[in-house]
Amino acid sequence: MTRRFCGTRRFPQTSESPSLTISIRANFSTGLHVVFYSLLKSSPIGDLLLAADETGLRSIQFLPAPPTSQRSVLPADGEFNDKALSDAREQLQAYFQRRLRSFQLPLAPVGTQFQSAVWNALQQVPWGHTASYSQIASAVGNPRACRAVGLANGRNPIPIIIPCHRIIGSSQRLVGYAGGLHRKRTLLAIEGQTQLFDLDKWT
C-alpha cells in the first residue's frame, strides 16, 4: 500500500521565482516500476544520470567521472530512453544556460513523510536565494529538527530540481552538499544571488 503526504508552507512569490506547482508525496510503495534512464553529458557540474518511471522523475545522480560507456552506468535491469526524459533534459539544459528559473516536471522521489515535507519546503526557496537548515526545520513544523533536516537534505534524490543546494548554514557558510561543495558553488553561481531569504514573510 502506498502512503501519501503532502503540504508545506509557501514562500511569497518574487519576480525571480515563478509559482511552483510540484507537490511531493511520501511514497513507501515497494511495487515494481519500469525505470528509464538518460545520460545528460557535459553539464557545468559534470555528467548526470536521470531516472524516471511512469509517475515522474525519480532521481538525478552525479557521476564522479565521464563514463566509459552508457551501459557502464546503467543498472542491470535499467533501460535507456532519452525520449521519456526529454522534458527533464531540456529543462535542465535551459537552467544551466540561465534561461529557466522554475522547473515544471512531475516528480516521484521515494521517501518518508518527513523527508517529503522537507523536499517540498526546499522547492519553496526561490531561485537566487538561500535558506538555512533551521529555517527549513521551522517551515516543516519542527524547529528543533535541524539535524534531521540536514539528513533529509542530503538524501534528496533529485538535486538541482529539488534545490537542496540553496540550503546553507545559519552563519551563511555553504557547509555540506552530497554532490560536493564545488557543485554547490557552481549551482549558486548560476543563480547569481545568494542572499538569505527572509522566512519571516511566509504566510
Q: Which helix (H) or strand (E) holds 135?
A: helix 133-139
Q: What are 156's three cell numbers?
A: 534528496
Q: What is the dotted CATH code of the domain comprising 113-201?
A: 1.10.10.10
How far apart, in whole angstroms, are the C-alpha atoms of residue 107 and residue 191? 22
Q: Are 17 and 126 in contact (CB under 8 A)?
A: yes
- Considering the chain, tell me which residue range(s) the CATH 3.30.160 domain(s) occupy: 36-96
Strands, E assignment, the chain: 36-43, 46-53, 56-62, 79-80, 129-132, 167-168, 195-196
Q: Write down the pLDDT at residue 52.
A: 94
List the catalytic residue out of 45, 125, 158, 164. 164
- Considering the chain, tell me which residue range(s) the CATH 1.10.10.10 domain(s) occupy: 113-201
Full-model pTM: 0.79
Q: What is the pLDDT of residues 92-106, one digit of tens each?
A: 999 999 999 999 999
Q: Write down the pLDDT at residue 20.
A: 35
Pick the CATH number of 36-96 from 1.10.3470, 1.10.155, 3.30.160, 1.10.3210: 3.30.160
164 included as an active-site residue:
yes
Q: What is the pLDDT of residues 67-93, one digit of tens each?
A: 766 667 777 777 899 999 999 999 999
How far apart, in whole angstroms, are the C-alpha atoms of residue 144 and residue 147? 8
Q: Helix or strand or coil: residue 71?
A: helix
Ranges under pLDDT 70 in the chain: 1-33, 66, 68-71, 193-203
